[in-house]
């Protein structure tokens, strides 16, 4: 990416300025007349602003609302944005895993902004169906200069579907290794005779989890089961292949460890998928998982954030999450990697905000809002952490303490080192150096910038996804018997057009690779 964030963090100086403009100066007029004209024009502008109807925007978050952040959205946040931007903001929540509901909302013409990412399963079909409002790059420069500055030297290429910008990516941290690794409650492991430093193999990892589960049978074991293929990449792919699956049962994948190959792998027909299902069957038998994970991700999300979960998927940045910020207890969360594969850079953001197509004429209002969020550190802290003194405090040495377990704009998504460099008070210098080197040593994914256009196989895709949801996912998560149940399911997938879909994916990816 060409970033040297550590150097930037050590050298950048933040300053806030205010630029004021006035009409063309007429040197022939007296200073008294000029001031009168200026005052008259200013009063006129203020009157016009007061008379303007406020613009409206709606933000849809994934997760669940707590009492405090509901109050914040409806009162302090709403009132301040309305006063300073003349924008009326509504905030709603949907459960994690509700992308299909978001798609239905967009298709029905609802107006809102939503979490999205170019690596999400729905991204290509949403793009081909025109679900996203498009954003001219010049609009970012005109209405969101502070946002661009806070994104540091990251661009907007990652925000495109084909040639159109369709997202507002947010945040500026280290982005390689997303969900490749594991965060473990080391304080719990220590109670049962284990330490993260003792875990060298997958078998060690399972033995440690077993011991912890035996001591705390009511605890959930793992948050983020849908990322197991990443966290256990080396286990399911002993041949050295590198995968970055965002779901357990994708239709197609590519081996990122082979940078020059354009081969597309039919994941569900592969040995990798078979290996994954066998691991998940073992986890189910050991009591590590529950079928509810397919229905409601928030069960595990809430368990982790409340301190009632032993391990979680995570990125290398999780080496800094020694404490679970929303848990009302002391914890020691440590970073663990079971992979011997290179760290992969897929994109230079975590998630982004997409805007529904029905809001095409209101794109500027969203840009103005996100520009305001990043316009000053005061605004940034307000949006991410709430009201100082009520929701958080900052000590004399600059360490922040959260006073509420509720979250606002999620820091994992919106955090930028432009305003929050890593603190050498909170973190060891060696940890900071390791973290800041993550992106510079990562390999760039060969499919970065590729988005599959499913328009030629829409019928087949719909049929395949229906079978995957109903019959493949339960097997993928270990709640079925791969050897016994999957052959018949594979026949259904073939009858629904699996081969045609893979061929079309191969055609498009080969074309993409040839034109790189």
- By the 10 Å C-beta count (0-12 exposed, 13-18 middle, 19+ buried), 312 is classed as buried
- pLDDT of 385 reads 95
- Strand 443-444 versus strand 344-345 pairing type: parallel
Mean pLDDT check: name the lowest of 134-148, 233-247, 483-497.
233-247
pLDDT class of 116 with cuts at 50, 70, 90: very high
Per the model's pLDDT, the better-predicted residue between 432 and 10 turns out to be 432
CA atoms of 144 and 353, how far apart (whole Å): 14
Which one of 21-30, 63-72, 150-159, 496-505 scores highest in mean pLDDT?
Answer: 496-505
pLDDT class of 320 with cuts at 50, 70, 90: low
Average pLDDT over residues 134-153: 96
Measured CA angle at 261 (ends 257, 267), to 5 deg = 70
pLDDT class of 37 with cuts at 50, 70, 90: very low
CB neighbours of 66 closer than 8 A, spacing ≥ 6?
404, 405, 406
- pLDDT of 321 reads 62
Q: Which tokens go with 368? A: 């103005």
CA atoms of 301 and 224, how far apart (whole Å): 8
Indicate whether 235 pLDDT > 80: yes
pTM for this model (two decimals): 0.73
Q: Which tokens go with 248? A: 């357990």
Indicate whether 393 pLDDT > 90: yes
- pLDDT of 340 reads 87
Average pLDDT over residues 183-196: 96
Q: Which residues pair with 314 in a beta bridge?
A: 181
- Strand 252-253 versus strand 167-169 pairing type: unpaired
pLDDT tens string 86-107: 999 999 999 988 999 999 999 9
Indicate whether 384 pLDDT > 80: yes
Indicate whether 219 pLDDT > 50: yes
- pLDDT of 398 reads 80
Indicate whether 237 pLDDT > 70: yes
- pLDDT of 377 reads 96
Per the model's pLDDT, the better-predicted residue between 99 and 51 turns out to be 99
Indicate whether 285 pLDDT > 80: yes
CB neighbours of 372 closer than 8 A, spacing ≥ 6?
81, 84, 85, 146, 379
Average pLDDT over residues 245-273: 94
- pLDDT of 171 reads 93
- pLDDT of 326 reads 63
- From the list 282, 286, 182, the residue with the least C-alpha distance to 228 is 182
- pLDDT of 155 reads 86
Domains, the chain, with CATH or none: 52-171+351-420 (3.40.190.10), 181-347 (3.40.190.10), 454-514 (no CATH)
Q: Which residues pair with 172 in a beta bridge?
A: 416
CB atoms within 10 A of CB 92: 12
Per the model's pLDDT, the better-predicted residue between 165 and 125 turns out to be 165
CA atoms of 466 and 480, how far apart (whole Å): 17
Q: Which tokens go with 477? A: 């998560």
Average pLDDT over residues 433-451: 84
Extract the runs of DSSP E, i.e. beta strands, from 8-128: 55-62, 87-94, 113-116
- pLDDT of 10 reads 32
CB 427 within 8 A of CB 421: no
End-to-end CA distance of the chain: 16
- pLDDT of 143 reads 98
Residue with tokens 């629904």: 496
Length of the chain: 516
Q: Which tokens go with 32? A: 């008294």
Average pLDDT over residues 191-211: 97
pLDDT tens string 11-32: 333 333 323 333 333 333 333 3
- pLDDT of 42 reads 42
CB 119 within 8 A of CB 244: yes
CB neighbours of 361 closer than 8 A, spacing ≥ 6?
none
Measured CA angle at 129 (ends 127, 130), to 5 deg = 65
Indicate whether 47 pLDDT > 80: no
CA atoms of 502 and 456, how far apart (whole Å): 12
pLDDT tens string 296-310: 777 888 898 889 999
Mean pLDDT of the chain: 86
Indicate whether 232 pLDDT > 60: yes
CA atoms of 319 and 334, how far apart (whole Å): 6
Q: Which tokens go with 385? A: 């952490």
- pLDDT of 324 reads 76
């Amino acid at each position: 990416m060409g970033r040297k964030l550590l150097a930037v963090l050590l050298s950048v100086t933040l300053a806030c300025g205010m630029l004021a403009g006035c009409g063309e100066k007429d040197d022939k007029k007296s200073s008294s007349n000029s001031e009168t004209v200026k005052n008259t024009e200013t009063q006129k502008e203020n009157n016009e602003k007061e008379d303007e109807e406020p613009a409206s925007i709606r933000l849809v978050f994934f997760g669940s609302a707590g009492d405090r952040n509901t109050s914040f959205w409806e009162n302090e946040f709403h009132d301040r944005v309305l006063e300073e931007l003349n924008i009326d903001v509504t905030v709603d929540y949907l459960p994690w895993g509700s992308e299909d509901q978001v798609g239905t909302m967009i298709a029905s013409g609802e107006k809102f902004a939503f979490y999205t990412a170019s690596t999400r399963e729905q991204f290509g079909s949403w793009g081909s169906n025109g679900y996203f409002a498009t954003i001219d790059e010049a609009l970012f420069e005109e209405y969101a200069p502070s946002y661009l500055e806070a994104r540091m030297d990251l661009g907007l290429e990652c925000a495109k579907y084909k040639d159109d910008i369709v997202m507002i990516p947010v945040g500026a941290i280290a982005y390689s290794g997303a969900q490749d690794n594991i965060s473990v409650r080391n304080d719990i492991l220590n109670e049962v005779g284990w330490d993260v430093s003792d875990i060298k193999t997958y078998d060690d990892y399972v033995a440690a989890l077993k011991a912890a589960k035996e001591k705390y049978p009511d605890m959930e074991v793992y948050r983020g089961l849908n990322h197991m293929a990443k966290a256990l990449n080396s286990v399911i792919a002993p041949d050295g292949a590198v995968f970055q699956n965002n779901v357990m049962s994708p239709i197609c994948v590519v081996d990122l460890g082979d940078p020059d190959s354009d081969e597309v792998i039919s994941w569900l027909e592969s040995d990798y998928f078979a290996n994954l299902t066998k691991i998940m069957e073992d986890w189910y038998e050991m009591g590590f998982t529950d079928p509810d994970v397919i229905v409601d991700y928030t069960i595990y999300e809430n368990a982790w954030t409340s301190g009632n979960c032993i391990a979680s998927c995570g990125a290398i940045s999780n080496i800094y999450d020694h404490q679970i910020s929303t848990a009302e207890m002391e914890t020691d969360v440590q970073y663990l990697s079971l992979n011997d594969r290179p760290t992969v850079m897929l994109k230079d953001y975590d998630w982004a905000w997409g805007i529904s197509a029905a809001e095409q004429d209101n794109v500027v209002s969203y840009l103005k809002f996100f520009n305001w969020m990043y316009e000053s550190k005061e605004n940034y802290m307000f949006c991410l952490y709430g009201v100082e003194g009520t929701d958080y405090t900052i000590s004399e040495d600059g360490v922040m303490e959260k006073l509420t377990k509720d979250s606002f704009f999620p820091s994992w998504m919106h955090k930028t080192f432009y305003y929050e460099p890593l603190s050498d008070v909170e973190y060891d210098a060696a940890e900071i150096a390791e973290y800041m080197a993550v992106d510079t040593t990562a390999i760039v994914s060969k499919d970065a910038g590729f988005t599959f256009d499913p328009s030629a196989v829409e019928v087949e895709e719909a049929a395949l996804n229906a079978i995957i949801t109903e019959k493949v996912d339960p097997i993928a998560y270990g709640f079925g018997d791969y050897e016994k149940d999957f052959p018949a399911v594979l026949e259904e997938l073939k009858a629904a057009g699996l081969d045609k879909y893979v061929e079309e994916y191969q055609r498009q990816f080969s074309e993409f690779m040839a034109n790189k």
